[in-house]
Amino acid sequence: MALAGQIEVILVTGLPGSGRSAVLGQLLRGLPQGSRSAVCVHRHARAFSLETTALAVSTPPCLRYDEVFDFGSGCLCCSPDGDLARLLLDLACHQHELLLTHLFIETTGVADPRPFMRLFSKSRQCSAPDTCSGCGVESFGLVGTVCVVDLLRARRSLRNAKEAGVASLAARGLVQLQVADVLVLNKEDELGAPNKKEASTDFAEVRDIVVALAASLPNSGSVEPREQPVRVLGPCSFSFINFADLREDLGTSGGGHLRFLNMPLPVVPPSMFSLSSFPSGLSGPAGHDASCETACLVIERGGCHLDSALALLQALLDCGDAYRIQGYLSFLPAGSEPESLHHRAAKCSSDINRDGAAATSLAPTLPSLERTWGLPMVTVEGTARSRLKIRAVRSAYAHNALVEKAENSGAPWQEMALHSACSDRGGCKVFVCGRGLDERALRAQLSGLSSLGFGEPVCNVASLIPSTTQVLARLDDEVNAALASNHEDINCEAEMARSIESRMVSHVCESLDEARAEAEKFADRLVTIFMKVLPSEVTSSSSSVLETPIFVQRGPGQPAESATLSWTHGTVTVVRNSPADQPVGFVSGGLRLCVDRSSDSSSKKNYEVFVHGTFVYCR
């Protein structure tokens, strides 16, 4: 409970997808007149800059926004309580300037809230007592812990929570309920019952389940039973709750969280997930439980096949292996995907000289704007057993421009997936939190989906032709300079503001077709503008012809054959060498393969070329 003069602290927790950030946003907007707040959000380190729910942190009553990071699975030993303690000391030392009345702390969906709560039961000494108006955590009072519950998915995610092993999502959700003072029953709009009576029945069943779990006692440790039942707020739709109602419930909850403040944290046997790089003893005595793993899937340049990438991510959500997905995707526009290229190649096959003629990619290639900065983009987010939410990216900024702008303004700023996407056009970055994740395999799958039907790349142009790197770097520099110049045609401030505002309303979303169309429309506009404002020697790519020999695998189990790759004016071509120039034998993959020099119809077939980033594929 907060004492007179202390900053009131409210801890917001809940499983992935329950709506923690949306509820926190509502609390910020509902603070009483004259309130001054700070917000601290607990993030997975690998999800840095990939948040998809916007908080109103850049305007009053929010005066300070900070993040602390979890480098593990959200368990006791991975808790960033040390970073949070340092943050509390910093806020206390600047309280004479900030004059804060409230501090909101939001945990990740898989976090154990107890280490956060225990911070407020310890006394810490301030390193600068002469300028500090308080003394560390003594300046703060934990008013209570709020657990947000997803009405639609609570029964599935909390099934057999009491019997579940420590390293499970259900067990983590159980702890969140047990330490809560108030439960916010969210997402009534998604219950999907055909009539009000059935909806009321569903709500009552879920409420009884979570209230019973909240009243249960841990399997280990000495914890007093609740003096009174946990307070329940809701049901609510779209996370719409009233701060005054919540504050009143926290004040009459009987201090449910107080039962855990002085309880020793449980001893958890170290698991197979324990990091071997930790110094001996660092993971004990609490050990480490692997209730989740994380992966960050990155494609630096070239985008992906959108439909296939979305199908992959949706499959992870549908099977429950992914608890949370968030990030952004650059994708190949209509007419530039491998299937489209294949059909276009078939239609114009009559015009191709099949006897040793060059195979030319049928879409703009390296280092054209269309395949680097000009790719359309979408942000993606989703939780287990729910549909992915997709939104078009309609802005573009120079690298680090938004960060520098925020630092210069001095106002609180939350870096989101939208911001990162605007400065990383042509790239993909998706964070996945779940169980049994094989990051290397997932990354290979995502990359492979961009070149469907082409197999492995025959070469990386950046490695074979060193000048490729310089040309691409020059293109990036010129594009960044154009974006940083605030050219009136490229000014995206208004569009960015509208995009951020739409992300503050959790239920605003676009259909796949709408998002794709809007993203491609903006990408086309961006390329058209760039073609006008960038130097002609950049937009026309290299004027010289660069050539290098390569080997192309004709098919599974077949020998490779020699060819010549050339790059000029932003177009990659591959010419098959004549049979007389083919080597009699060469080593490929550890095997000596021989090529028949005799002429046959299949050897005269032309290569179809597909360029993805700096990788070249042939078939």
Helix (H) or strand (E) holding 429, with range, is strand 428-434
Cα(43)–Cα(112) distance, integer angstroms? 13
Output 128 or 590, whichever has higher pLDDT.
128
Amino acid 181: pLDDT:
92
Amino acid 74: pLDDT:
56
For the structural domain made of 7-261, what CATH number should be given? 3.40.50.300
Residue 427, pLDDT above cutoff 60: yes
Cα(299)–Cα(328) distance, integer angstroms? 10
Amino acid 24: pLDDT:
95
Q: Check if the beta carbon of residue 248 is closer than 8 Å to that of residue 233.
A: no
Query: Mean of the pLDDT values across residues 301-305?
Result: 85
Output 497 or 318, whichever has higher pLDDT.
318
Output 581 or 191, whichever has higher pLDDT.
191
What pairs with residue 392 in β-bridges? 378
- Closest CA relative to residue 77, chosen from 267, 221, 272: 267
pLDDT digits (tens, 9 = 90+) for 215-227: 887 765 556 677 7
Residue 455, pLDDT above cutoff 80: no
Q: Over pLDDT 70: what percentage of the chain?
A: 69
Give residue limits of the domains in the chain. Answer: 7-261, 293-538, 546-618
130: Cα separation from own chain's centroid: 42
pLDDT digits (tens, 9 = 90+) for 508-566: 567 899 999 999 999 988 888 888 888 776 666 545 567 788 888 766 667 778 888 87
Cα(129)–Cα(139) distance, integer angstroms? 13
The token pair that represents 269 in the structure block: 């046997």
Burial class (CB in 10 A: 0-12, 13-18, 19+), 550: middle
Split at pLDDT 50, 70, 90, the class of 447 is: confident
pTM across the whole model: 0.83
pLDDT digits (tens, 9 = 90+) for 273-295: 333 333 333 333 344 555 678 99
Residue 322, pLDDT above cutoff 80: yes
When the pLDDT of each residue in the chain is averaged and rounded to a whole number, the result is: 77
Query: Mean of the pLDDT values across residues 115-130?
Result: 63
Amino acid 279: pLDDT:
35
Candidate from 258-267, 309-318, 447-456 with smallest mean pLDDT: 258-267
Cβ-based neighbour number of residue 485 at 10 Å = 12
Helix (H) or strand (E) holding 5, with range, is none
Q: Over pLDDT 90: what percentage of the chain?
A: 28
